[in-house]
Structure 1
Amino acid sequence: MTISNESPYREVRSVKENLLGPKTKLRAGAWNVRTMYETSKRAQITNEMKRHKIQILGISEARWTGSGKIKTNDRYTVIFSGQENIHLYGVAVIIDKENLNTLLEWEPISDRLIRARFNSKYCKLSVLQCYAPTNDADEDCKDDWYDQLQMAISKVPQHDMLLIMGDINAKVGSDNSNFERTMGKHGCGERNNNGDRLVEICANNNLS
């Protein structure tokens, strides 16, 4: 797992647009695309964003190396974070051209976690796009990732709206005993180890 020691990339332009508002709707989504390291895959993804009118799309398993920010031919902007030399794991956030000017800053935390913060007059939005280790992964690996996620949550400004999305690789099941404020009863199957971790981190941070 790679971890960035860099400061957040702050956008230098004047930000005036609002992403959130009492009369606006935000369409956000998350997609494990298996890889963006293929010819035309990026265009396929942005075409799906257009079709579903998605403004912000979180990507898991981007498999791009390094971190950076690029603009596509159809004027979508991709911020991404991956391993330095290996096309493995990787996360990204794709922003449509109408909402790019709301991006305040972003931070490539690791090859499994990236943060982006967006401007709004009433309530700013912080997004954490995730690609969690699988339930069968080494316990130390899972411990490290959830510690990293908790650290990222702790740094989110208190009055921001926080959206954690991505491929969490967790099954929370339908039994919400003792976690009624955190989850409903609409999950499938039984909760697994990753599900326990997810429910607990949500409960500890007043998330649902």
Structure 2
Amino acid sequence: MATYNANTVREEARLEELANCVEERGVEILGVQEHRRVHTDQPILYHKVGGCSFITSSAWRNDAQAATGGVGLMVSPRARRALRRVQQHTNRILVADFEGNPVTTVMSVYSPTNAAPIEDVEKFYDELRTAIHHVPAHNFLVILGDFNARLGPEDAPFTYHNNTNRNGEYLSALLTEHELLAANTLFRKRMGKRWTFQDRASGMLRQLDYILWVLECPLVVSSHSTKGCCLGLSFHHNLSISLERNVLNAPPPSVQHIVPEVADMA
């Protein structure tokens, strides 16, 4: 599994390039943030790209009417066959269940930035807590996301940063409350392999993207890596983890789609 802030994949060529990266690296499930594809008439959209399927909830438009945000999952043919349910929890949180033993619940999430109003950040974490509470206790939960948060050594074992910022405090509280681990902070990697984002203005490096999983789950993360994806316009690295057990099994006959009421998306 992997997570990647694509910056944009509105152009078909960029989406195809991302699918090629996924296939070449053997990624079964990729969480994608900031795809910037607007399809408000279709809350959940399936798009066939090469051998992959791209499943998205719609991006939104800012005050200048520019496409913003958007979360999705790019899945391999095997993961697509195992897909049993997709839920648009909010426009920043997409939830999918995959057949397996146990069932695997994957979330693709995109947090407001550290400079966003605190009310927006609190709303995001309240909604994420609600989504987590709805996951059955026996499911294997993985959260793939751009959290726009820095964790320091007081909150995670092996971090890129020396201290935790405001968004990181919210993320740390979530980890503690739900007994989650940030998989990419569990391994003693050299500093050059811990960062996931390069600031386009200053060139400074950040660790903002995380893969979270449940502490008590018997499935074990065996390794993680950060790699520059072939999409040159994104300043994020692709962050991936490897699992010691197969978590995808045969699919049910159909996929259930769940979208929030219009009032819930405001």
Kept in 2, the 8 Å contact 1:91–1:112? The answer is yes
- 1:130 is the counterpart of 2:109: yes
Q: Is the contact between residue 58 and residue 93 of structure 1 (CA under 8 Å) also seen in structure 2?
A: yes
Give, in whole Å, the separation in 2 of the partners of 1:92 and 1:131: 10
Say whether the 8 Å CA contact 1:82–1:112 is kept in structure 2. no
Deviation for aligned residue 1:88: 1.0
Is the 1:103–1:116 Cα contact (8 Å) retained in structure 2? yes
Contact 2:87 2:95 in 1 (8 A): yes
How many pairs were matched up? 174
Matched position secondary structure for 1:94: strand
Structure 1 window deviating more from structure 2 (85-94 vs 193-202): it is: 85-94
CA deviation string 1:142-181 (max 9, x = no partner): 11111000000000011001101111100011123xxxxx
Cα distance between partner residues in 2 of 1:150 and 1:108: 15
2:55 to 79, 89, 109: 79
Give the alignment of 1:87-166 within 5 angstroms: 87-120=67-100, 122-166=101-145
Report the TM-score, using the length of structure 2 for normalisation.
Answer: 0.62
SS in 1 for 2:149: coil
Residue 34 in structure 1 maps to residue 7 in structure 2: yes
Residue 169 of structure 1 pairs with residue 148 of structure 2: yes
Give the counterpart of 2:28 among 49, 55, 61. 55
- TM-score normalised by L of structure 1: 0.79
CA distance in 1, matches of 2:151, 2:58: 27
CA contact (8 A) 1:89 1:131 kept: yes
Amino acid at match of 1:59: V
Could you list the per-position Cα deviations for residues 68-103 of structure 1 after superposition, in whole angstroms to 9, with x for gaps in the alignment? 232324131111112466621100001111221111
Higher share of residues assigned strand: 2
Runs of at least 4 residues of structure 1 off by over 3 A? 83-86
Structure 1 unpaired stretches of 5+:
1-27, 177-182
**Corresponding residue for 1:189?**
162
Tell me which of the two structures has the higher relative contact order, counting C-alpha pairs closer than 8 angstroms and 6 or more residues apart: 2
Structure 2 unaligned blocks of 5 or more: 182-266
Distance in 2 (CA, whole Å) between partners of 1:73 and 1:170 is: 31
* CA root-mean-square deviation: 1.5
Distance 1:147 1:57, change over 3 A: same
- Once structures 1 and 2 are overlaid, which stretch shifts more, 41-50 or 104-113? 104-113
How far, CA to CA, are the matches of 1:162 and 1:73 in structure 2? 26
Q: Which residue of 1 aligns with 2:226?
A: none
Identity %: 25
